[in-house]
Structure 1
């Protein structure tokens, strides 16, 4: 899946990134005042620069993941403004300095846009392997009716697969944004970890 993602042309990727913003502009997800976690693309991940610009125009409050413990795969979400003091983590990804910005409890976020390597038709996501998102979003595994934040994976259409085998610690997505559309998955309570 990583190789397929890498093989997309720069033109196709740029078109997809613009399409992400166009699709979200027609949705209810980026209303003013919403607390939205975004990310800076690493490698060939789907890029959110156009979405970040749109969210700022819509007066959303933006947050970025900040790795707080590499060994234990821990991260938190920190407020990201145009004038935020930034630092670079060991992966070379810019992140706001948590000593100089608001750290928000994950349950107070309204929406998390998250990267992925692959996603299946049930909303199970294959991440990069370190488990940062699964750990920080562990409270959503119980499948309660009240779910915050909403989790929308962002990927290119070529990253979709028929079926993934989730692990017990995986957190399912509520929806998926690709260059071809924004789609939602069945409620997590209706899904399980079965292999059938």
Structure 2
């Protein structure tokens, strides 16, 4: 079993109590995060395959009058960020993940985002992340420092590994919130 399969399996095997305890800590860290309180445009993913449940985070962001955007995969392994509100209808994409239907009028450029919460399969102490293998986030965040975007990974502690074999194009996250 490779690292991606192994960590996904570990994540799925977390008990409900372990998952809830970790998520409570993660939610508190987000609520107390100075960058989150200052941000207006925040991209976040809808949870899939045992990832940290982002629904309570999204609801909190809406309560704080933040504009929330969901990543939508499009051609050439690019991400489009579409506005997401409680009334946004969702459809399943080719990966089986819920997303808004593509509507260019509700999209925002990545440069307009303040924070991008990123999913990940595994991460290491240096901030490197392993995603699902499509390179969508690495492409989207390639210039995040120049664009003054804060990418933040969300994970469970069981997803941390000693060291990932990163490639030159892999994006090192400045912050990963986990418990």
TM-score normalized with structure 2 length: 0.88
Cα distance in 2 for partners of 1:33, 1:124 equals 24
The counterpart of 2:73, out of the listed 48, 67, 74, is 67
Cα distance in 2 for partners of 1:101, 1:77 equals 11
Deviation at 1:80, TM superposition (A): 0.5
Cα distance in 2 for partners of 1:103, 1:152 equals 20
Partner SS state of residue 86, structure 2: coil
Q: Counterpart of 2:168?
A: 168
Q: Which has the higher contact order (CA 8 A, sep 6+)?
A: 2
1:5 aligns with 2:36: no
RMSD: 1.7
Q: Counterpart of 2:3?
A: none
| 1:152-196 residue CA offsets vs partner (Å, 9 max, x unmatched) | 1000011112221210111110101112xxxxxxxxxxxxxxxxx
Assess, with a 3 A threshold, how the Cα gap between structure 1 residues 6 and 77 changes in structure 2: closer, same or farther.
same
Deviation at 1:17, TM superposition (A): 2.2
Partner SS state of residue 95, structure 1: strand
| 1:63-88 residue CA offsets vs partner (Å, 9 max, x unmatched) | 0001112xx32221111111113222
Assess, with a 3 A threshold, how the Cα gap between structure 1 residues 32 and 150 changes in structure 2: closer, same or farther.
closer
Q: Which runs of 4+ in 1 moved over 4 A?
A: none
Cα distance in 2 for partners of 1:52, 1:123 equals 24
Q: Counterpart of 1:25?
A: 31
1:89 aligns with 2:89: no
Aligned length: 173
1:113 aligns with 2:114: no
Q: Counterpart of 1:35?
A: 41
Partner SS state of residue 91, structure 2: strand
Assess, with a 3 A threshold, how the Cα gap between structure 1 residues 61 and 6 changes in structure 2: closer, same or farther.
same
Structure 2 unaligned blocks of 5 or more: 1-6
TM-score normalized with structure 1 length: 0.81
